[in-house]
Amino acid sequence: MRAFYSGQFVLPLPPGHRFPMGRYALLRQGLERQLPAVRMFEAPRASDGELALVHTPQWIASISDGSVSAAAMREIGFPWSEAMVERSRRSTGATIEACRAAFADGVSGNMAGGTHHASADKGGGFCVFNDAAVAARLMQAEHGRRARAPLQVAIVDLDVHQGNGTARIFQGDPSVFTLSIHGQKNFPFRKEASDLDVELPDGCGDADYLAAVEQALGELERRFTPGLVIYLAGADPFERDRLGRLKLSFDGLEARDRRVFDFAWQRRIPLAFAMAGGYAADIAETVQVQLGTFRVAFEYWRRWQNAAP
């Protein structure tokens, strides 16, 4: 199974910053030890043209040359740096490559990504460019050169925070179905309208969460026929996440992942996944959740290979 990384670009964050930058290196190390059959590749940079499938030229230019306003950077939550620009481009490139690999292999992943708070003309919540949105648009363009029928893409966002940027980008677009299951009272406090939003109360545990996932996937199937699934496998519904406010266990999160991967597998839909958020006080617990996602992904990747003609 192929996975793509951009974690070698470490942002110069001030001491005490709450974003857990170190989790990416720990995830890579964990995969090397526990899942050595996962082949890891450095992600390419998303080009201006690829980013412009979703983002405005003004936003791309201001981020790239550092002319972005201080207020816009405060909304993102990072200080501007060349490393931030490079990492944001490569994180988007990783989801693009994961989608291409999923069409070839059935399943592939981005070891970062899931930057769902970025919209066309601004970022937010540690998100600069919207990797899933850019990848969806580029896959549609590439598919359109090969086939007459347009590619329909489902973005299944199970980060604990609503994918407001993704929802805003694709509002009114029948070719992309946005599904977000998130904490009702959590960030962002002004939500956008996804095609399907499922809002959960603080303290929601495994049983209620998994029931919501099953119901939402059933609704997705009734309303949409995707040719690609992009899955944001946030680790932040975890019970000890500092920003999550839900109460999912390790087993509950693995069961969540299994339901999403099985949904795509049963319908033979290629699936690309990204890590999205994760802010446990013990960073090793976030990485444990992410490694669980990769273990489930690898199992379903093997099913694809065994089913190949």
Q: 19-23, 96-100, 196-200, 231-235: lowest mean pLDDT where? A: 19-23
> What pLDDT band is residue 9 in, cutting at 50, 70 and 90?
low
Mean per-residue pLDDT for 16-28?
85
**Residue 85 neighbours by CB under 8 Å, 6+ apart:** 63, 64, 128
- pLDDT over 70 at 4, yes or no: yes
pLDDT tens digits for range 229-261: 999 999 999 999 999 999 999 999 999 999 999
- pLDDT over 80 at 154, yes or no: yes
**What is the reported pLDDT for 144?**
86
> What pLDDT band is residue 19 in, cutting at 50, 70 and 90?
confident
pLDDT tens digits for range 34-71: 999 999 999 999 999 999 999 999 999 999 999 999 99
- pLDDT over 80 at 130, yes or no: yes
pTM of the model: 0.96
**Residue 109 neighbours by CB under 8 Å, 6+ apart:** 1, 2, 3, 4, 98, 272, 273, 274, 275, 293, 294, 297
**What is the reported pLDDT for 223?**
98
Verify whether residue 117 is a known catalytic residue.
Answer: yes
Mean per-residue pLDDT for 109-135?
97
Mean per-residue pLDDT for 128-140?
98
**Residue 147 neighbours by CB under 8 Å, 6+ apart:** none
- Supply the mean pLDDT for the chain: 95
**What is the reported pLDDT for 45?**
96
Mean per-residue pLDDT for 84-94?
96
**What is the reported pLDDT for 20?**
78
- pLDDT over 80 at 308, yes or no: no
Q: Among 117, 143, 161, 182, which one carries the catalytic annotation?
A: 117
Q: 81-90, 141-150, 197-206, 234-243: lowest mean pLDDT where? A: 141-150
Give percent of the chain above pLDDT 70: 98
> What pLDDT band is residue 99 in, cutting at 50, 70 and 90?
very high
**What is the reported pLDDT for 60?**
98
**What is the reported pLDDT for 309?**
59
**What is the reported pLDDT for 54?**
98
Give me the residues paired with residue 271 across strands: 107, 229
CA angle, corner 120, sides to 114 and 122, nearest 5? Answer: 85
> Do 10 and 83 touch, CB atoms closer than 8 A?
yes
Mean per-residue pLDDT for 277-293?
96
